[in-house]
Amino acid sequence: MTQRSTRAKKRMKPVAPPETLQIIGLKTLPEIRPGDDLARLVVQAAQREGAGLRRGDVVVLAQKIVSKAEGCIVDLPRVKPSLLARAWARKVRNDPRLIEVVLRESQRILRMDERVIITETRHGFVCANAGVDRSGVAGRHRVTCLPADPDKSAKRFAAGIRRWLGITVAVIVSDTFGRPWRLGLVNVAIGAAGLRVLEDLRGTRDAYGHPLRATILAVGDELAAAAGLAMGKREGVPAVILRGVRFRVGDGRARQLIRPASEDMFR
Amino acid sequence: MTQRSTRAKKRMKPVAPPETLQIIGLKTLPEIRPGDDLARLVVQAAQREGAGLRRGDVVVLAQKIVSKAEGCIVDLPRVKPSLLARAWARKVRNDPRLIEVVLRESQRILRMDERVIITETRHGFVCANAGVDRSGVAGRHRVTCLPADPDKSAKRFAAGIRRWLGITVAVIVSDTFGRPWRLGLVNVAIGAAGLRVLEDLRGTRDAYGHPLRATILAVGDELAAAAGLAMGKREGVPAVILRGVRFRVGDGRARQLIRPASEDMFR
């Protein structure tokens, strides 16, 4: 042990202050209704919970509350299913009205099977059921859809925070998506404002002087996933503050995280 | 504003203490060499940096340092490329020895093009170049491969921490993977010990009483992604402590995060 410790000491770099990021889940947001000012409600919840909101925070909003605030809710009894929706619903024993909403929210169908329809949403996101979701909304015959333009939603929220508190925060709107090859859902960014969502390290070098060739980090998605740890699904934490993140300020949009179909080997 | 505030107050839930998770990046780990006791080095770095290690922490280790400690390093001059490796290298103007290592680390090839080979590694992970990587290793003609059994690596690390400190921590070995449909790399779990990597919420209900049908959260990957925020690529933070995470203790393995090929619509 002694010899190894000496070696370890020799290799030791100078001590730096610990790099600490905080993930703070907000638990006291009220039930969100169409027309609600999310920025105000988040400011109030953060104050109430003793977290406050600070310059440089990243606020991650669950898609669900953004959709609710924007009224992206569909009453199924009002939906007239198309022939395709009815045919498919019969085949997989699902609600034809739900299938119809999924089709309407899509611009392209990638796969259809008994469990799920994988589509490209109108925004270009590839996900299950075009992001149409029954959970997390009151009423048995209502579903939420993704916000019409989640990047704009994020921008609007950031502007709201600026109005209420006079500070600038970065914003991510997140949703839980499945992925090929790996099981389980992870939170990804479907909307963003005030930060770069991709960190392009190409052209830089690693600690050994090797050029980093293929290294673009999906910072927006890692922020969303980190917030996902505090969100859970059952726990009623629809907004999360990430504090101490060294992100790059910029005019990033979550759409930049979409791989162009022409460069996608799996679409 | 007054009317809305009143409504907001009515909808207010009782205040709960803020739920705070910490992400602590360790910056002073020495250069890792084959045979190093990673547990000891992480314990020392955490002490040195004033973070310590506590019962219930999740330690996320970058694949790179695990591979180095386990000697998963290949000297390219010693590699004899196969005919396929040579043919492909000629076509895409790459190093045939590097291609050969990628092929050896794979059990199935999904796609080959100029930029990348997407394979199923011997463990079953689907990723670029079978996880073979030139960056982050000293010497121009050396590459690292994934650990032979990253779940076992995680388990061994947890046992090491138990030996050095007498406490139990959960462990994730992470690597940065690309994904279809979305740009940029994210950190995912390729090894795990001491926690469940999937949180299965099926059979439970959301706040409105709706059954959650398709909801399995990839907690292991969200932990890895959260750690990725502190790791970056250039910054020399190859180990991260996640503190305050409410994970489920269990005998999870990262292999459980692999979607069986038979259930994978995109393989």
Could you give the ipTM of this predicted complex?
0.90
CA dist A201 to A248, B136, B170, B183, Å? 13, 14, 30, 13
Residue with the larger pLDDT of the pair A264 and B140: A264
- A 10 A CB-CB count for A204 gives 11
Backbone angles phi, psi at B83, to 5 degrees: -60, -45
Q: Cα(A137)–Cα(A31) distance, rounded to whole angstroms?
A: 10
A200 within 8 A of A222, measured Cβ to Cβ? no
Under a CB-based contact definition with an 8 Å cutoff, are residues A168 and A174 in contact?
no
Angle CA B243–A234–B220, to nearest 5: 45
Question: What contacts 24+ positions apart, CB below 8 Å, involve B46-51?
Answer: B46/B241, B48/A12, B48/A15, B49/A15, B49/A16, B49/A17, B49/A18, B49/B24, B50/A17, B50/A18, B51/A18, B51/B24, B51/B26, B51/B241
Contact assignment for A28 to B13 by CB distance below 8 Å = yes
Phi, psi of B7 (to 5 degrees): -60, -45
Tell me the chain A residues in contact with residue B218 when contact means C-beta distances shorter than 8 Å: 182-186
The C-alpha of B81 sits at a distance from chain A's nearest C-alpha, in angstroms, of 23
Show the CA angle centred on residue B144, arms to residues B143 and B147, nearest 5°.
Answer: 160
For the domain made up of A20-60+150-177+188-251, the CATH class stated in words is alpha beta
Q: Which of B107, B181, B262 to mutate to test the interface with A (most CBs of A within 10 A)?
A: B181
| Smallest Cα distance from A153 to chain B, Å | 20
Beta strands in chain A (DSSP E): 19-26, 58-62, 73-75, 106-112, 117-121, 126-128, 142-144, 170-177, 186-193, 199-200, 216-217, 239-243
To probe the interface with A, which of B73, B179, B219 has the most A CB atoms within 10 Å?
B179
pLDDT per position as a tens digit, A158-179 = 999 999 999 999 999 999 999 9
Q: At B36, is the pLDDT very low, low, confident or very high (cuts 50, 70, 90)?
A: very high
Rounded to whole angstroms, how far apart are CA atoms A256 and A237? 27
> CATH topology of A20-60+150-177+188-251 equal to that of A73-146?
no
Closest partner residue to B184 (CB to CB) among A4, A116, A217 is A217
Q: What residues of B are in contact with residue A118 (Cβ under 8 Å)?
A: 265
**Per-residue confidence (pLDDT) for residue B234, from 0 to 100:** 63
A9-36 pLDDT, tens digit per residue, is 445 444 555 568 999 999 999 999 999 9
State the nearest Cα–Cα gap between A81 and chain B, in angstroms: 23
Closest CB from B187, B201, B259 relative to A234: B201
Q: How far apart are CA B247 and CA B217, in angstroms?
A: 12
Q: State residue A17's pLDDT score.
A: 53
Give the residue among A64, A68, A173, A105 at the shortest CA–CA distance from B215: A64
Residue of B nearest to A41 (CA): B8
Residues of A within 8 A of B258 (CB-CB) are 181-183
Q: Which two tokens stand for residue B146?
A: 């994934």
What is the CATH number assigned to the segment(s) A73-146? Answer: 3.90.1660.10
Residue among B18, B28, B51 whose CB faces A50 most closely: B18
SS3 category, B8: helix
Q: Are β-strands B58-62 and B170-177 bridged in parallel, bridged antiparallel, or unpaired?
A: parallel
* Residues B192-207: tens digit of each pLDDT: 999 999 998 877 777 7
Residues of A in contact with B179 (CB under 8 A): 179-181
Nearest-neighbour CA in chain A from B78: distance (Å): 20
For residue range A50-94, list pLDDT tens digits in order: 999 999 999 999 999 999 999 999 999 999 999 999 999 999 999
CATH 3.30.1330.100 for domain B19-70+147-258 = yes
> Which ranges in chain B belong to alpha helices (H)?
2-11, 38-48, 63-69, 83-92, 96-104, 150-165, 219-231
What pTM value is reported for the model?
0.91
**pLDDT, mean over chain B:** 90
pLDDT at B136: 76
How close B80 gets to chain A, by Cα (Å)?
Answer: 23
Indicate the residue type of A188. Answer: V
Instruction: Spell out which residues of chain A touch residue B128, defining contact as CB-CB under 8 Å.
Output: 214
Phi and psi (nearest 5°) for B246? -90, 85
In tens, the pLDDT along A209-224 reads: 776 656 899 999 999 9
Check CB contact under 8 Å for A222 and B245: no
Chain A residue with CA closest to B258: the answer is A182
Q: Where are the domains of chain B?
A: 19-70+147-258, 73-146
B56 closest CA partner among B232, B191, B249 = B249
Closest CA of chain A from B83, distance in Å: 25
Predicted local distance difference test score (pLDDT) of residue B196: 96
Top residue of B6, B93, B186, B247 to mutate, by most chain A CBs within 10 Å, is B186
Query: Tens digit of pLDDT for each residue in B100-153?
Result: 999 999 999 999 998 899 999 999 999 999 999 988 787 779 999 999 999 999
> In whole angstroms, what separates CA B166 from the centre of its chain?
25
Of B18, B31, B128, the CB nearest to A51: B18
Candidate from A180, A207, A222 with C-beta closest to B228: A222
What are the tens digits of pLDDT across the range A229-240?
999 766 689 999
Distances (CA, A) of A40 to A32, A62, B121, B165: 12, 16, 48, 46
